[in-house]
Amino acid sequence: MLKIAVLGCGRIGVMHAANVAAHPRASLAGVYDIIAAAADACGARHGAPVFDTPEEVFASPDVDAVLIASATSTHSDYIEAAVAAGKPVLCEKPIDLDLKRVELCKSRIAGTDLPIMLGFVRRFDPGHRAARQAMLDGEIGDLHQVTIVSRDPGMAPDAYIETSGGIFRDMTIHDFDLARFMLGEEVETVFATGSRLVNPALMDRCNDYDTVVVTMTTASGKQAIITNSRQAVYGYDQRVELFGNKGMVISENHRENQVTRHLNGATNVSAPLLNFFIERYSEAFNAEIGHFVDAVENGVPVEVGFEDGRLALVLAEAAFKSIADGRAVRVSEIG
Ligand X SMILES: NC(=O)c1ccc[n+]([C@@H]2O[C@H](COP(=O)([O-])OP(=O)(O)OC[C@H]3O[C@@H](n4cnc5c(N)ncnc54)[C@H](O)[C@@H]3O)[C@@H](O)[C@H]2O)c1
Options 2, 4, 6, 8; binder of ligand X; rule CB under 6 A? 8
Task: Provide the mask over 298-327, with x wherever binding to ligand X is found by CB under 6 A and - wherever it is not.
Answer: ------------------------------
Options 119, 153, 244, 309; binder of ligand X; rule CB under 6 A? 119
Q: How many residues bind ligand X (CB under 6 A)?
A: 23
CB 170 to ligand X: min, Å: 6
CB 327 to ligand X: min, Å: 29
CB 77 to ligand X: min, Å: 8
* Residue 93 binds to ligand X (criterion: CB under 6 A): yes
Options 5, 12, 57, 99; binder of ligand X; rule CB under 6 A? 12
Nearest residue (beta carbon) to ligand X: 10
CB 12 to ligand X: min, Å: 4
Options 18, 41, 71, 328; binder of ligand X; rule CB under 6 A? 71
Q: What is the SS3 string spanning the chain?
A: CEEEEEECCCHHHHHHHHHHHHCCCEEEEEEECCCHHHHHHHHHHHCCCECCCHHHHHHCCCCCEEEECCCHHHHHHHHHHHHHCCCCEEECCCCCCCHHHHHHHHHHCCCCCCCEEECCHHHHCHHHHHHHHHHHCCCCCCEEEEEEEEECCCCCCHHHHHCCCCHHHHCHHHHHHHHHHHHCCCEEEEEEEEECCCCHHHHHHHCCCCEEEEEEEECCCCEEEEEEECCCCCCCEEEEEEEECCEEEEECCCECCCCEEEECCEEEEECCECCCHHHHCHHHHHHHHHHHHHHHHHCCCCCCEHHHHHHHHHHHHHHHHHHHHCCCEEHHHCC
* Residue 74 binds to ligand X (criterion: CB under 6 A): yes
CB 245 to ligand X: min, Å: 33
* Residue 50 binds to ligand X (criterion: CB under 6 A): no
Q: Dihedral, CA atoms, 66, 71, 74, 78, nearest 10 degrees? A: 0
Options 19, 60, 70, 322; binder of ligand X; rule CB under 6 A? 70
User: Which range of residues in 34-42, 180-188, 213-221, 228-236 is near ligand X by CB under 6 A?
Assistant: 34-42
Residue type, 229: S
Output phi, psi for 242, to 5 deg: -115, 120
CB 134 to ligand X: min, Å: 24
* Residue 35 binds to ligand X (criterion: CB under 6 A): yes
* Residue 92 binds to ligand X (criterion: CB under 6 A): yes
Nearer to ligand X, 13 or 235 (CB): 13
User: Which range of residues in 63-71, 124-132, 210-218, 241-249 is near ligand X by CB under 6 A?
Assistant: 63-71
CB 164 to ligand X: min, Å: 8
CB 91 to ligand X: min, Å: 8
Task: Provide the mask over 174-213, with x wherever binding to ligand X is found by CB under 6 A and - wherever it is not.
Answer: ----------------------------------------
The contact set with ligand X (CB under 6 A) reads 7-13, 32-35, 38, 54, 69-72, 74, 92-93, 119, 121, 277
